[in-house]
Structure 1
Amino acid sequence: MGFSALFESGEKAKYRGHYRNLLLIACADGGIDDQEQALLDRIASRIGLTTDQVAEIKANPANFPTVAPTTREERYERFIQLMQMVAINGHADANELKLVRKYGIALGFTEESMDEKFELILKHLLDGKSRSEVLDKVL
């Protein structure tokens, strides 16, 4: 981790940790396919990560821990993005689902709240609903 990363904003640390989680989920089924890479690229762009920052996260994922968001909506948005990575190629791999549950706990969800929303979110994503549509359904 570079010296400047020690002083980055809390928001940037949250984004890097979240991107790392998405990256690890994408890799959980043996590699990153084109659809997963496209989603990673869109999210990196949306959250303002540079190419160098993405490369640093890929090279050293352990250096970027999960930092839980503070608002309920942001926690759900992050959880839905994690689920979106699982569903992007039309099926949910068991290793990916295991990681999503682990990261859901790190985001502040309880096992019960994840059990309540997990299948609903996955169903909506596999049905082709957008992230914002799913967010509206679960909030």
Structure 2
Amino acid sequence: MNIDDVIELFKMGKATAKSHMRNLIEMAAADGGLGTEEQRLLKYAAQRNNISLQELQEMQRNLSDVRFQVPGSDREKFNQLYDLVHMMSVDKNIHVEEQRLCEIFAIKFGFRKEIVREMIDQIRENIEKWIGPEETMRAVMAKMKVFD
């Protein structure tokens, strides 16, 4: 984690971090179950967002207790979408429900509906090539107008 990530976490705040974790849990469960890779990625994301394992487990039991929040900055929106796409594709088996949910989140974050699918595909391709969120964001932003 670099200094920009640390600063972004402080800006994001606990409520937004919990909302992000809720979204990731929903994505992980969208295909009907939580596999080992999905659980591992959830734990990693929780750690990055200063969410304890106990808090993560509580959220998994009571998702309705955590309210959805749109991330504050364009960078946060992209990073959260990147994580959601990563969760969708971590098991190498993308279900229709996962794709649909990822598109819904992208639209809720304010990304243009017309390019959401293409943007998600580009993010997924970059994840498969081990290209991180910062470089992926630069590439996607340069290629397409992503926000309304």
The residue that corresponds to 2:81 in the other structure is 79
Counterpart-to-counterpart distance in 2, 1:28 and 1:92: 10
Counterpart-to-counterpart distance in 2, 1:113 and 1:70: 21
The residue that corresponds to 1:138 in the other structure is 140
CA contact (8 A) 2:12 2:71 kept: no
Counterpart-to-counterpart distance in 1, 2:77 and 2:12: 15
Identity of aligned residues (%): 25
116-125 vs 21-30, greater mean Cα deviation: 116-125
Q: TM-score, normalised by structure 1?
A: 0.84
5+ long unaligned stretches in structure 1: 1-8
**Counterpart residue type for residue 45 of structure 1:** Q
Q: CA RMSD in A?
A: 1.9
Counterpart-to-counterpart distance in 1, 2:12 and 2:65: 15
Counterpart-to-counterpart distance in 2, 1:131 and 1:89: 19
Counterpart-to-counterpart distance in 2, 1:77 and 1:34: 22
The residue that corresponds to 1:102 in the other structure is 104
Question: Which string of whole-angstrom CA distances, capped at 9 and with x for unpartnered residues, describes residues 34-87 of structure 1?
Answer: 111111110100100012211221111122122111211111111111001011
The residue that corresponds to 1:125 in the other structure is 127
1:89 aligns with 2:86: no
The residue that corresponds to 1:3 in the other structure is none
Which of the numbers 91, 114, 117 marks the counterpart of 2:116?
114
Which of the numbers 2, 20, 23 marks the counterpart of 2:22?
20
SS of structure 1 residue aligned to 2:111: coil
Aligned length: 131
Q: Which has the higher contact order (CA 8 A, sep 6+)?
A: 1
5+ long unaligned stretches in structure 2: 1-10, 142-148
